[in-house]
Amino acid sequence: MLEKIREGSQGPVAKIILLLVIFSFALAGVGSYINSGGEQNAAEVNDLEIKQSQFDRAYENERARMESQYGEMFSRLASDPAYIANFKQGILERLISEQLVNDLAQRLSIRISDEQIKKQIFEMPEFQVDGKFNNDRYLQLLTRANYSPAQFRDVLRQDMTRRQLISALTDSEFVLESEAKQFQALQAQTRSIEYVEVPVESFKADVTPEESAVEAYYQQNIMRYETPEQLKLSYVELNLADVAAQIEVSDEEVNAYYEKNQSLYQSAERRRASHILINASEDDAEAKAKAEDLLAQINSGADFAELAKTHSDDTFSGENGGDLDFFGKGTMDPAFEEAAFALANVGDVSELVKSSYGYHIIKLTDIDEAKVKPLAEVKDEIIEQIQQSQARDIFVEKQQQLADVSFEVPDTLKDAADAAGLTVKTTALFDMSNPPAPLNSVKVTDAAMSDDVLNQGYNSSVIEISSDQLVVVRVEAHEPARTKPLAEVKSQVVDAVKQDLAKQAAQDWVEQVSTKWQSGEEISASLSEKSLEVKSEADMARFGSQVPASIARKAFEMAQPEAGKVSATWLEVSPSQFALVKLNSVETPEIKTVDSATEERLLRAMTDYHYQSVIKALREAAEVKVYKSAASVSES
């Protein structure tokens, strides 16, 4: 066979094909052949790849975590493309930082042993049942997360390596007693201040916008005055779940269904087994001989559990005497499963079983027989099944009625709704890009914007949102997208210009008054003109005072007042408010005993600062490529 292939490769036909392939490479470029096969990278860090699938998995995991923690709040944020773009960028930056640490760990030859990984897995609460490691749960969770045991151990090894390196870099951090006392004293420091809150609103009466300024503002911000295309729809909705909910099911129907379909309510048989695994990946013959010797010892009366602890290559179950806990069909290797379910009695031991993992010796330790669930336990489920079954026929009948009457009487939905026993609902005007449920489907907006429905005023045909949900719509009102003319929005524009002018006037005023305060002049007359007053706060703590947070924060940033000098300044609290602040005195307590919580907080802050410094230094020295798309790469 090989000779024929070799001879064929030297023939004239093969040479012609080779020339054509070379020619096609010249035309299309070698890169297109190389890049078309493998998986795309999201980034590269010093030639270490971050695969797109790795990024996608990290994104999905983080998104799921955020949705679980913040619920509807995160869903609203996630609807903003700009937020999601920043969210994804943050995840990519995290993966790059992790890869930088991986690279450094590799260069420093930091290693994690198999024993450390094994200990970590045993201690992870996710894999424990009643406080103990459970091998069955371990395998189930890995399968659910699309990990093989080998893949998970690789990921864990990498994560533990990173943590070990980070610990080596940061665990040497310490806090001197003098530093802790100084930090604690600063945290406990109090300041006495005077401050004036200056609302921009109080300057509006003093400004009058010129027409040219109003026109200029309108032109510069014209997109603010654009209205999107809007629709107001009336609609009739047919939903299978609503139909099913109206169906009454008798006890006789429930009993009959239960008797006829008992197989559906039977829990499958489960078996509990222990095993000894001998890995055959390196030397099959040697592995088989070892397994046969162990089987002979078991058949001669040796303790199965002790042999599993000593010899099994499945170290996790081996720790428990080879116990795998209960499992059903479809969860184990096919060869293993067949042998385990073939054992007749508890205590029976199988012959050698060859699987993709190696050679197994299996001992049956318990049987959980198949059981039929009692009617009371499954009654609600049966009622739902009967309702769903009967509802489908009714649903199809109502669908036909809805289709026929909405077509025959095209200028109203009431007749169609009455025929199908439904009600007509009406929306408010909504943005075409954000329709309300259940009309938030492109099928609905396409139908509503069709000539017959939008311009002729007819009912739409039946629109299938899903196999269980249908709607018929008609247009009640349509507002095309447009830019509102200045005349229509002039009051809004004038108010916006007045706000800007008032804000500038307020800023100019606080700057002047702050200068006066700073030089020791009296400012009461200036405050009276604006009906403002000075507020004071004695012994204000750094955190938890009644003073607005931004003012308090500014006060603790200000220099301590010196003899004969005033420490005063101003700040913008918000777009609608400024503030004047004067610092009168600072009280710093003498710390005799360091508070452990404060010391720990300082240590964490210093550790995080130095870790971020390490990452920054690694990033600056590294060659990082971020792939924005398959054809566009940015380098840093």
Q: Which pLDDT score, from 0 to 100, does residue 631 have?
A: 31
Q: What is the pLDDT of residues 493-537, one digit of tens each?
A: 999 999 999 999 999 999 999 999 999 899 999 999 999 999 999
Cis peptide before 438 (omega within 30 of 0): yes
Q: Cβ(202)–Cβ(636) under 8 Å?
A: no
What element of type H or E holds 175?
none
Mean pLDDT across 127-145 = 82
Residue 155 gets the label, from left (phi > 0), alpha (psi -120 to 50) or beta, of alpha
Tell me which fold the domain 41-170 belongs to. Triger factor/SurA peptide-binding fold (1.10.4030)
- Tell me: pLDDT of 375 over 70: yes
What's the mean per-residue pLDDT of the chain?
85
Query: Is the predicted pLDDT of residue 11 greater than 50, yes or no?
Result: no
Task: Give tens-digit pLDDT for 137-182.
Answer: 888 888 777 777 878 888 888 888 888 877 776 777 778 888 888 8
> What does the pLDDT read at residue 20?
38
Quote the tokens at residue 477: 């009102």
Mean pLDDT of 472-498: 94
The interaxial angle of helices 375-408 and 251-260, nearest 10 deg, is 110
Does the pLDDT at position 89 exceed 80? yes
Model confidence pLDDT, tens digit, residues 336-367: 989 999 999 999 999 999 988 889 999 999 99
Q: How confident is the model at residue 289 (pLDDT cuts 50, 70, 90)?
A: very high
**Using an 8 Å Cβ cutoff, are 509 and 523 in contact?**
no
Give burial (CB, 10 Å; 0-12/13-18/19+) of 157.
Answer: middle
Tell me, what's the pLDDT at 547?
Answer: 93
| Cα of 243 vs its chain's centroid, Å | 36
Residue 15 has pLDDT above 50, yes or no: no
Same-fold call for 41-170 versus 269-369: no
Domain limits, the chain: 2-35, 41-170, 190-221+488-587, 230-249+378-480, 269-369
Q: Where are the beta strands (DSSP E) in 515-630?
A: 535-541, 567-574, 577-587, 624-629
Least trusted range by pLDDT, from 230-239, 322-331, 415-424, 518-527: 322-331
**What's this model's pTM, rounded to 2 decimal places?**
0.48
Give me the architecture of the 269-369 domain, per CATH: Roll (3.10)
Q: Among the listed ranges 133-147, 295-309, 578-592, which one has the minimum average pLDDT value?
A: 133-147
Residue 634: is its pLDDT beyond 80? no
Whole-number percent of the chain with pLDDT over 70 = 92
